[in-house]
Amino acid sequence: MPQVTVATLNLFNRMGEWEQRFPLVVEQLAELAPDVIGLQEVDLGIDQGMEISRAVNKTLASKPHYRIKHATSPGQRAATFGIGTLAKIECVGHEILDLMTFDRIAQRLVYEVDGHRFALVNTHLHHPVEAPEERAVQAEYLLSWLDRQEKLPTVLSGDFNSYEGEKTVAIMKARFRSAHEVVHGREPEKTWPTPVNTWDNSPAGTLDYIYVTPEFRVLDAGLAFHTPSLENPDLFPSDHLGLFARLEW
């Protein structure tokens, strides 16, 4: 049966000492070696996604190498609010959805493994703590769009900016399973923040998720990109922790 390892990480664009964080991202991505990883807050102004892709590919002894598919926010912060999906498996389809509010978007990519196809959706929802209803509207709009696509086993992942107990999480869990919850019986204690972010006083908690449709068996799941620098315990790859899931279908 085909297997795939997927992951997600909000990069925090170029903020928070990116030059020092960059080697941590590359090192931990190479170690995790997911087949596909969805990235949020990709700074297109510095070609951040390609910079990561090239650096990781240099560490790989052989092919396949990673390739990235970008999508850009339609608003004034297009450069820093871009998203991108990095994969070392064959991509056979790529669509982008404008979520129509707050310059947020989603990608739907179709991949093929051993002749079997699945879809991965990468998204980043509206962020203010006081905007749970706005996030729920975006989530419902995204699901309505997905309902019109080819029916495939689907992974829906990213930074949902939604704490447990919010309507958006309930909407998602009515249709999908959380990979981390399947394995551990609960969500992580938190995926945000790390000490990299020193100015946002929003409550700590889980904001990032990997959701999967019933076709997938979750073999393993957990935190990723959660190891600080050996020289500086306050320096992490990002202000978010990442997630991974190893799936079979």
CB atoms within 10 A of CB 87: 22
> Does the domain formed by 3-248 have CATH 3.60.15.10?
no
Q: What is the pLDDT of residues 9-60, one digit of tens each?
A: 999 999 999 999 999 999 999 999 999 999 999 999 999 999 999 999 999 8
* Contact present, 97 and 106 (Cβ < 8 Å): yes
Report the side by side order of strands in the sheet with 36-42. 67-71, 82-87, 36-42, 3-10, 242-248, 217-224
Residue 175 pLDDT: 97
Whole-prediction pTM = 0.97
* Contact present, 53 and 228 (Cβ < 8 Å): no
- Cα 118 to Cα 99: distance, rounded to the nearest angstrom: 22
Low-confidence ranges of the chain (pLDDT < 50): none
Backbone angles phi, psi at 177, to 5 degrees: -105, 140
* Contact present, 107 and 119 (Cβ < 8 Å): no
